[in-house]
Homo-oligomer: A and B are copies of this chain.
Amino acid sequence: MLKPETRDRLKSVSTATICTALFKRGLRNQFVQDVQPLNPDAGTMVGEAYTLRYIPAREDLNPISVFRDRGHPQRKAVEECPEGAVFVIDSRKNPRAASAGSILVSRLMKRGVAGIVTDGGFRDSGEIAKLDIPSYHNRPSAPTNLTLHQAIDINVPIGCGDVAVFPGDVVVGDCDGVVIIPAAIADEIAEETVEMTAFEDFVTEEVLKGRSILGLYPATDDRTQEDFAAWRASANR
């Protein structure tokens, strides 16, 4: 389970910093490729992955009437995704039909879900952009998902944007996009990236004052370490 303090810490750091922390551990491929936020002002998204797997739609199995079945995996998943989780859809990187639309995303929002990610596209993208739930996709796509996608599995390991996503992995999203943190290291990544962020904020301030990055970033000059210590003290970080 994602600890509240880990969630809070991850809300205060960037996907870029997390990617660097993962890179140091040999995890080079955790950034979901080619998705973007519909509502970049919705704030940093953090939550455990709850997944939905799509396969290509076969016409005879996907008439519009399938949604009348309350057990249809897409609808079932929307009602069962836990509060605080992030709903992650494997759309096989295919945005030519929608992964979901504004009604389902609204329902997720109302249920307290922390965000939604697809490597395909959303329909009603203008509506979703106004909702208060961080949402990430490749590009808008008006056709109903039945056109190309069949929801087949709930909460199994999937691929999303070329990244492995296991249920329970921690998903973080910001302006740059979405990163997947393996569940087992979420706490340590959160701690480490909070530290890294303090240093990066210090560096940014120094750079904006006109200081050279050499010796500063990374901190190969002794003076940098000293200045950073002083900055932390004065900034209370």
Q: Which residues of A contact B (CB under 8 A)?
A: 14-16, 18-20, 23-31, 33-34, 36, 40, 55-61, 64, 67-68, 70, 75, 78-79, 92, 94, 96, 98, 101-104, 106-107, 110, 123-127, 129, 139-144, 146-147, 150, 152-153, 156-159, 162-165, 174-177, 179, 182, 200, 203-204, 207-208, 210, 212-215, 217-218, 220
Contacts and interface: CB of A to CB of B under 8 A. Distances in A.
Most chain B CB atoms below 10 A, which of A27, A139, A152, A213? A213
A176 B124 contact: yes
A144 B103 contact: no
Given A16-B123, A36-B139, A64-B20, A207 B56 contact: no
Given A55-B159, A126-B175, 18 more contacts: A14-B142, A18-B142, A19-B123, A19-B143, A19-B144, A23-B144, A29-B57, A55-B164, A60-B182, A75-B214, A92-B92, A106-B208, A107-B213, A110-B207, A110-B208, A125-B175, A127-B204, A142-B177
